[in-house]
Amino acid sequence: MKITVEKLVRAPLSVVWAAYTTPTDIIAWNAASDDWHTTKSAVDLKVGGIFSSRMEAKDGSFGFDFAGTYTEVEPETRLAYDMGERHAEIDFIPTDGGVTVRITFDAETQNPVDMQRAGWQAILDNFARHTEAKGPGPIA
């Protein structure tokens, strides 16, 4: 089963792309709630390149690594990656007023679909807030 989440980010395409693919930015926005954070991130932005992020509860009670291998890299347009048997695609769609970021991913079997959708949407909402706070610029 595939799940899709999306968000309009009111920032220029170049800023949106950079914030999505730069480790220091990823550390700043990659959390579904205030009691979680990302402690490290690495990105090798090329087909066959690996990305990883370490996500941890702020109280230290739990943590996990989120990692995958890029299968498609079209700058400022599209990313796709595999996470083991699962696949995800991210489209960056210029629109009036910003960029719609659409993520479609294969659901996993350990958590309910609604929980997965809500978690990925919360992370995408954090991404939008972080990116929009980077400052105004021409929307393209």
Q: What pLDDT was estimated at residue 134? A: 85
- Token pair listed for 100: 């719609």
**Is a pLDDT exceeding 80 seen at residue 65?**
yes
**Is a pLDDT exceeding 50 seen at residue 140?**
no
Mean of all residue pLDDT scores within the chain? 94
Identify the band that residue 61 occupies on the pLDDT scale cut at 50, 70 and 90.
very high
**Is a pLDDT exceeding 70 seen at residue 123?**
yes
Share of the chain above pLDDT 70, in %: 96
**Is a pLDDT exceeding 70 seen at residue 126?**
yes
Write out pLDDT tens, residues 10-51: 999 999 999 999 999 999 999 989 999 999 999 999 999 999
Residue pointed to by tokens 């390149």: 49
Share of the chain above pLDDT 90, in %: 94
Q: pTM of the prediction?
A: 0.92
Sequence spans of domains, the chain = 2-132
Which CATH number, 3.40.50.880, 3.30.70.20, 3.30.530.20, 3.40.50.2300, labels domain 2-132?
A: 3.30.530.20
